[in-house]
Structures are given as structure tokens and as C-alpha cells.
Structure 1
Amino acid sequence: MVDTPEPSVPEQTTRTPLRLIVAAAVALVLLGGGAVWAGTASGNAKPVAVAAPDASAAPTPTPSPTPAQTRPAPTLATVTAPLRTCSVAGLAEDERLGEFQAQVVNAETGEILFDRGGSTASRAASVLKVLTSAAALSVLGPDYRATTTVVAGSEPGQVVLVGGGDLTLSSTPSGDESFYAGAAHLDDLAEQTRAAMGGTAITSVLLDSSYFGDPAWEPSWDRKEQTQGYMPEITALQVDGDRDNPYNSTSARSDDPVARAGAAFADELGGDPALSVGTAPAGASQLAAVQSQPVSSLIQQSLIVSDNALAEMLARLVAVESGTGNTFGTIQPAVLAGLAEYGIDTTGIRISDGSGLSDNNAVPPGYLTKLLQKINAREGSLGVIFDGLPVVGGSSGSLSYSDRFSGDNADADGAVFAKTGWIDTGYTLAGIIKAGDGSTLTFAVYALGDVGDNAKQAIDTITTGFFRCGNNLSNT
């Protein structure tokens, strides 16, 4: 409110008799200037000079002072948040959501529009891959490539195949793409090795997988993830993510990825060399090398179909490059250090792996909405993550399946970019919404506890509600 000026009041003009002016002047001289000035307290009349009182004259009663007029204090304008009227409260009570947590934020302003347990760190399932990817971009950089090498052994005719953490290295022939498009190929490595040996027969191959430490299996993982084809043992030397079928996303994995890789390499070399496991001699000369796709490509391949092997590869490389170590236990400090670059408080976050498969992981939904704001703004290299997020109604990825955003929820087709998550104890979804009213929202939804597969549809329904409400989304 702007203060309103008081109305002007016309000056009162006082005609002063001549004799009074003369008397006042004489009195002023006689009394050494002891004049007093009087005027109305309201300030509506001019002050008038008045003669000092004559002691012999009758006393003049002193007029009572007029009370000062107090101007009312101006009322300060109250800034209130806009009244939002689009509620999803009913959708949030869907029993299929189990132990429900969620947060929705206006991506441009950072205002929290909807919050249910947004500050509580809980298991995020495969949504954790967003954090792993962000840490990899910070620590490794988008152009980093994992390198597999062959070096000379300590014995004549011996070569050492040294794993550099590239779980995508392929046993398929060059030109024949495995599930990991653009991966390096063993036949290329073998050809380089034979050429470097200059015709010397290769009689033995030592397999060195020491770049990653033991154990190869995180203790909290269920072994069915291996046999059902979702997760390999994590070794620095393996081929095709240790899949039985190198062309399929989901394929049973073996109990010994290193041995599988060694056998495939020996086949490419020819001559039936003996295989053993060990460590390359210090300072051994390099004979051959191939490199993985850059981190930027690996992240997008990991996010689009929620590939666990790639996420674990990235997390372990982050730990190695950070200097914290090369085991599962060294991932948390390395990833948190990498995330520190983004300036978001990581209090409460627990990281047991890179894929989100462990129930021991914990991330607040509110952390994800903040990180996704930066991903939406493509800060630094974070646009790589945006470009890898599955899209509702897209042609590929984990949100293109027929059981996601079907029926009325198809309203959100092309408008939701999000990472899916699923473990036995919960379903999750987090990402970016280009809402129907033109606003952009970031969101994270957790449906945890004793929930079934239909939790996915409940998550889709409330996410579509966010899309429809946009910036008019109410928290009540």
C-alpha cells in the first residue's frame, strides 16, 4: 500500500493590531528577547509572536493544550502464496501405494507444491541410478572411457588380459552389435594381441580382474536377481554384462564372469592357450587395448532400460577414480563426494550400491526433486541424464511398456520424463513433468512396503494428476 498524503488545510490568517505589535517589540527589548511563541498544537494556524506577560497585570489563564492528532499507521501489504485448487489428495490415499511418499516442486521457482514425507530418506529402488549417473558425470566426466588391456606376461608366450571395469566388452564379432550398442569387442583385442606378439605362439592367458575388489555380490542382494537375469556378479573383467545371451536385456548370468570372459578371449586368440587367474606383472608392456563407450553413452544406456550392470560399473569406477577404494563399501563416500558438486544437502542419504537393488539404500524424495531441477536446467553435464530418461508413451524404455500410463493416464504421453524403480519392497518413479498448463514440475513418488505390481498403475495415476494440475497443484 502507498501512503496517502493528508489533505491540505488552508492557513488561517490573523490580523494583529498595531498596538500589540509595538508592545511586543518593546517587551522584547526590555526582557532581552524573552518572547514565547504560541500556536495551535494541530499545526493548522501560523505561530504568532506574543508579548511576555506583565507581572502587574491580571494573570491570564493558560489554555489547555489541544491533543496531538495521530496519523493511523499504514497497513502493510501481505504477500500470500497463490490459492491453488487442484487436489490429488484422493489419489494419494490409494491403498495400492502402500507406504506413500512424494514431493512435487515447481522447477522454475523451487516452490514445493505437494509434499508427503519428502524429507524422509527411504529406499529408492532403481531411481538411485539418477544419483549414480550424476556422481559419474561429476567424478569421471562425460567423456571418460573404461579401458581393457592386454599386457605381456612374466613367462614366454604368456599374455595377461587386464579388466579395466568395462562390463560392456562384447564377445560378439565386430560389426555385430550386442545389447550394448557401440561396445568394444574381444575379437579386436585378440587381433591386436596377435599382431603385437609378432608370430610368437600364445601359450597361456592370465586373467586379471583385480581392478575391482571382492565381494563380487553385494550381501543384501537376492540371488534370484542373478539367476533371473537382472544382475551379474560385479567383476572388472567380464563380457556382455555376463549374459548367457549377449543380445537380450534380461538374460541369466553365470557364477564366474571372469572365466567366461577368459574362455571367449582364448577362442578369439586360437591355439587353445591355458587359462589362469592372477595379477599382471608390474610395469608389463602393453600389447593391446580397447575402450568402452563414453560415460555419457553408458548413462543413457543404463537409464533407458534400468540396466543394473552399467549402474554398478559406473559406481565402482567412481569409487576407484575418487580414491576411496574398489569395493561396495567404498561407493557411498565416493558418490556423495561427487554429488557435493551440485550444492544440494545429502544428509540422510545411504548408498549401498549403484543400481538401487539393495533395500539398504535411502534417498529423500526431496533430494531427488532438487537434483532433477538441475537436470531439467541442464546444469553442467546433467543434460546427459535428461536425455537418458524414459519418456511416457515413448518408443523404447521402461515407460514405453503396455502396462505403464495406459487408459486415461495416456494424457501424460510425451510429457513425463522419469526413471522407474522396482524392488520386492517397493516401486518408485522420479523425474520431470511438462505439465498441461505449461509449467515444469520435478517429482518423486515412492510406494513402499507390502505392495504389488499394481502399485505401478497407482503411481502412474497420481503422476498424471500432477500433470493435469500443473502449477495449480494443491498440497491439501
Structure 2
Amino acid sequence: MTSAAPVARIGALTALAGALLAGSLSAGGATGGPVAPGAGPARAGAAVLAGLDPAAPTPQPAAVAARLAGPLGDPVLAGPAAFVVDALTGRVLLDNRARTPAVPASTLKTAVATAALVTFPDTRLRTSVLYSPPPGGTGLAPGGTLWLVGGGDPTLTASPETGGYPALARLADLVAQVKAAGIISVARVVGDASLFVGPDRAPGWRDNYVTDGDVAPVSALELDAGRSAPGAEGPRNPIPAAAATAAFAGALAAAGIPVGAVDLGRAEAGARRVAAVDSPPVRVLVERMLTESDNDLAESLGRLVALRRGLPASFAGAARAVTDTVTELGIPTTGMALNDVSGLSTTDLIAPATLVALLRAAVIPTRPALRTVLTGLPVAGFSGTLNDRYATADTAPGAGDVRAKTGTLRNVSSLAGQLVDADGRLLLFAFLSPAEEGGGTKAALDRVAAALAGCGCPAPAPAAQGAQGAPTVPTR
């Protein structure tokens, strides 16, 4: 006979997915248990996530600890930090060094995602082309200068394809607009990446990040994030603004607009805008950033948050802006120390409890814009950086259930996200292992999450004592 528990769980997962897509995620009042630090109690009288029963049994801390003791004790994980809470009430179910700052790797992207979503969720990042006439010239006289001005959009693409999701800003559209404006030749094409300032690589970044293709040197003007072609793997261009400008000049020439010199510099005051393309809304970029663990988007969004807060658009400015923004949300940031906002720096520090509080801020109903943090999380065995995981017998219980941001550096493997347990309870978790990627650390972390996903974990029934002190079988 089919067990009722798996059937109920499938229904809960289906409802969870539907509610996330419909934007109806919310939580009810707390039950009086401990609340995750900084997350605050849920709003009184708020509707519960449709399909998840607020009366479903809450896992008991002792039972959760017992169930996860084996997976967390796997030597390959080298003694990971762990934090698990009930999403509805905020009750702490497992706390293993959860308030001790640790290297987060890319789980840190939940912080910049949160900051961007509360700052400008519907903003689009604009790349512009400005025109300056030649000395003594007027209007659109031949021989002038075109300025390609970056707006911090690393997803600007050289791809000729149109449509699709998300519909990215295209270099070809800029060229078409320039031609439609009546410009027939230019003496110079100059790339302007001046929106961002400071070093283009962060403290704690390894020398091989750019050559291995993990990230481009941070620039306000990038084409396909410094890749040699749309979607290409391998080394990124060490000067992405120069590469983008050269590609633009080449596309102009191919369209019949001759170009003289190609250079980098700041656009002249008074230059006239003749073309512009916009990125998808920031909320869509955030979703892409989380699903694909896009380092270039993370660093650009952090700098743009800094600009909104009147701070320099630099690594230091982005780190301060993100930290200040999440602190203002009531999220605990004690011990949080950042050298970037993508999590690539091996010297970043954040507490597991902070990561879970970021996730819970997206669950409770007071800030619906943050739900994109949840919809952007990769789905185990299905999407993004979890696409090729959870395929073994010991991790299969988490497939399609676990939604989590991954993180991997040479000195950390991490996982932070959400799942629905066997009783239909939404749980939030963060597991940070100080182990290198090699040696099966990803698989070991997946076993921890899968064990939690299979958890009903009620309090163990006490053994009743008979008249002579012998244990008796509990009545069912």
C-alpha cells in the first residue's frame, strides 16, 4: 500500500512551487518557539503558504540532530557548521557554530541579491551610445566620436539571437540605432567604463579566476562578461571594456559605418545620446545570478547598490552597501566581513545564521520583493548549479525538493537554502564545510540535505515503564 506521507509531500511540493511562482509566499504567526536571530516574528494573521499545513508536526531539535549526526559527521566535511530553522516559526532546530563567521563562498550571493531586490528590483541597466561632432562640426557630421558608455550590465551580448528568456540587451541593436540615427562614419569609438572605480580584482581572489573563466575583471562596460563569444568557456578578457569597445567598432564597420581609432576614456560633457539598450529588470538578473552563480552579475549589482547609497562603486563600497542594507532589514551581520559580494574571496566571512536569516526574510510576507531570492535558488537535480547533483540513491530524497545556493572554493564547500520535509514543513538551512571541493564534499553536503528532506523527526516517544520497571510497548 502506498504511504500517505509521500503523497502528502508531493502535494506540498507542488503547492510550494505554485505559490512561489504566483508570488503568494507568506507565513503565519510564530508559535512561541525561538525565532531565528534578526528574522523577527511573522506578521500576525498573515496567510500561510498555500498547500503547507501550519499544523504539520514541527521537527524536534533532538530528533533533527540525531538524524543529521551521521551525514554531518562524514570526515570529508571536516566538521561543518550547520544551522536549521523552521521557516514558519523561526524555531531553531539545529545550531552547530551557527553564529561563528565562516567563509561562505557563493552562498554570499544571497546577501547581494537581498540588497539589490530591496533597492531597485525593477530597474534596468542601460548601455548607451553618445555622439560628439568633430571640432567645428555640428549635428551628426562625419568624423565625430561615438562613446560606448557602460551602465554595469555584464549581460550585454554579441549574440545575434532575439527573444528567449531573459531577453538580454544586444550589441546589434545599438549598431542598428546608430545607423538609424544617420551616422555614416566616425573618427573614433571610445569605451567609457567610468561608472565603476577602484581595483578590478578583489583581495582574496586567486590569480587563476580570470584565466579559468570564473569571472571577468570587474568593469562597468562588458560584453558577454568578457567572454570570447556568447556562452564561451575558458579565459575571460583581462580588459573587458576594451574588448567590448573593439567588438562594437567591428560591428559598426560590418554595418557600413567606417571607424577610425578605438580607445577607452570618459565621455565628453554634452555628448548626445544616439542609442541605448536596457537589460532585463534587476529582479530577473538576480534570479539568473543565483541560479547560475554568476559572479559578474553579483559584483555589478553590488556596485550599483553602492551608488544608490552614495558610496564608491568599488569592492569596498559594494561590501559596505550590501552589509548596511541587510543590517537595516534586521538581519544579524555580527562578524560579517566582506572583500567582495560574489563570494569569490577566500577572506570573506559570514555566519551561517546570517545566511538563514537572509532566506527567512524572503519567506515572511513583509517584503514580497525578496521572494525572488527563493525562486532564483537552484533546484536539486533540475536547474543551475544543482542540475547535475542529487542523482544517487543516498541523495535522491532531496531531488526536486532541495532549493539551495551552492558555494565552492578551495577552502570551503557550502549549501544554503530551503526544503519541505516529510511532514510538509518548510525548513531553512545553511551547511558550511571548511573542506576543499575534492574528495566528494559536494556529495557529502547533498547527503546532509537529503537526510533533512526525509525528516519527519518528531520527538521520540518515551519508553513507558511497567509495574516491575520493565519497558512496555507504546500504545499506537
Query: What TM-score bracket applies, with the shorter chain setting the length?
Result: 0.7 to 0.9
What is the identity, as a one-letter code, of the residue corresponding to 2:204? S
Q: Shift of residue 154 of structure 1?
A: 6.0
Distance in 2 (alpha carbons) for counterparts of 1:473 and 1:331: 45
Equivalent runs, 1:436-475 vs 2, <5 Å: 436-449=422-435, 452-470=438-456, 472=458
Change (3 A) 1:386 1:451: closer
2:355 alignment counterpart: 368
Distance in 1 (alpha carbons) for counterparts of 2:61 and 2:195: 57
After superposition, give the CA deviation of every residue in 1:117-151 in whole Å (9 maximum; x if it has no partner): 00001110000011110011112x21111111111
2:159 alignment counterpart: 172
Change (3 A) 1:440 1:221: same
Distance in 1 (alpha carbons) for counterparts of 2:122 and 2:248: 27
Q: Shift of residue 440 of structure 1?
A: 1.1
Check whether the contact 1:405–1:461 (CA below 8 A) recurs between aligned residues.
Answer: no
Check whether the contact 1:234–1:313 (CA below 8 A) recurs between aligned residues.
Answer: yes
1:119 alignment partner, one of 89, 96, 99: 99
Check whether the contact 2:157–2:223 (CA below 8 A) recurs between aligned residues.
Answer: yes
Q: Shift of residue 375 of structure 1?
A: 1.8
Distance in 1 (alpha carbons) for counterparts of 2:319 and 2:436: 27
Change (3 A) 1:199 1:307: closer
Check whether the contact 1:170–1:186 (CA below 8 A) recurs between aligned residues.
Answer: yes
Equivalent runs, 1:71-220 vs 2, <5 Å: 84-86=62-64, 87=66, 88-139=68-119, 141-153=120-132, 155=134, 156-175=143-162, 181-196=166-181, 198-220=182-204
1:326 alignment counterpart: 313
Check whether the contact 1:103–1:369 (CA below 8 A) recurs between aligned residues.
Answer: yes
Distance in 1 (alpha carbons) for counterparts of 2:94 and 2:444: 17
Q: Shift of residue 341 of structure 1?
A: 4.0
Distance in 2 (alpha carbons) for counterparts of 1:252 and 1:443: 34
Check whether the contact 2:380–2:400 (CA below 8 A) recurs between aligned residues.
Answer: yes
After superposition, give the CA deviation of every residue in 1:335-368 in whole Å (9 maximum; x if it has no partner): 1222134212211111211210001211111111
After superposition, give the CA deviation of every residue in 1:53-100 in whole Å (9 maximum; x if it has no partner): xxxxxxxxxxxxxxxxxxxxxxxxxx9996843512222221111141
1:256 alignment counterpart: 239
What is the identity, as a one-letter code, of the residue corresponding to 2:405? K
Count of residue pairs the alignment pairs up: 389
Change (3 A) 1:194 1:115: same
Distance in 2 (alpha carbons) for counterparts of 1:167 and 1:225: 17
2:379 alignment partner, one of 368, 373, 391: 391
1:242 alignment counterpart: 226
Higher-RCO chain (CA-CA 8 Å, sequence separation at least 6): 2
After superposition, give the CA deviation of every residue in 1:180-227 in whole Å (9 maximum; x if it has no partner): 84111111112212332x345222112111111131111321121111
Q: Shift of residue 245 of structure 1?
A: 3.1
After superposition, give the CA deviation of every residue in 1:157-190 in whole Å (9 maximum; x if it has no partner): 111111111111111225287xx84111111112
1:313 alignment partner, one of 300, 311, 315: 300
1:352 alignment counterpart: 339
Change (3 A) 1:264 1:254: same
Check whether the contact 2:422–2:456 (CA below 8 A) recurs between aligned residues.
Answer: yes
Distance in 2 (alpha carbons) for counterparts of 1:254 and 1:105: 43
Distance in 1 (alpha carbons) for counterparts of 2:457 and 2:425: 6
What is the identity, as a one-letter code, of the residue corresponding to 1:391? V
2:277 alignment counterpart: 290
Change (3 A) 1:419 1:146: same
What is the identity, as a one-letter code, of the residue corresponding to 1:348? G
Change (3 A) 1:85 1:259: closer
What is the identity, as a one-letter code, of the residue corresponding to 1:454? G
Q: Shift of residue 449 of structure 1?
A: 4.1
Change (3 A) 1:159 1:229: same
What is the identity, as a one-letter code, of the residue corresponding to 2:176? E
Output the TM-score relative to the length of structure 1. Answer: 0.77
After superposition, give the CA deviation of every residue in 1:372-424 in whole Å (9 maximum; x if it has no partner): 12223353311111111111122x211120x4452221012221111011011
Larger-Rg structure: 1
Q: Which runs of 4+ in 1 moved over 4 A?
A: 79-84
After superposition, give the CA deviation of every residue in 1:19-40 in whole Å (9 maximum; x if it has no partner): xxxxxxxxxxxxxxxxxxxxxx
Does residue 407 (structure 1) correspond to residue 390 (structure 2)? The answer is no
Change (3 A) 1:93 1:258: same
Output the TM-score relative to the length of structure 2. Answer: 0.77
Of the structure 1 ranges 319-328 and 435-444, higher mean CA displacement relative to structure 2 is found in 319-328
Change (3 A) 1:469 1:310: same
Aligned residue for 2:455, secondary structure, equals helix
List alignment gaps of at least 5 residues for structure 2.
Answer: 1-32, 35-58, 135-142, 461-476
Change (3 A) 1:216 1:473: farther
Distance in 2 (alpha carbons) for counterparts of 1:253 and 1:164: 19
